[in-house]
Amino acid sequence: MKLSARNILKGKVVKVIKGAVNAEVTIELPGGTQLVSIITNASVESLELQEGKQAYAVIKASNIMVGVD
């Protein structure tokens, strides 16, 4: 698989919470940082995502927002 995204982070699925249409998937990276993504339930099933499975967080964004208090 080749992707145009520059940020491909390998981690482990630590949580999948399904809703009516979408699911919240949490991936833990080495070092403990967790990323959360909202994807369709159909994608969860198609990718066979479940806790403990290795997965990639693929990030492609032209803008990143930064904020301070």
Q: Looking at residue 59, what is its pLDDT?
A: 87
What residue ranges do the domains of the chain occupy? 7-59
Predicted confidence pLDDT, tens digits, the chain (69 residues)? 788 888 899 999 999 999 999 999 999 999 999 999 999 999 999 999 999 999 999 988 767 677 888
This prediction has a pTM of 0.85
Concatenate the DSSP letters of all residues of the chain into one string.
---S-SEEEEEEEEEEEE-SSEEEEEEEPTTS-EEEEEEEHHHHHHTT--TT-EEEEEE--S-------
- Domain made up of 7-59: CATH architecture: Beta Barrel (2.40)
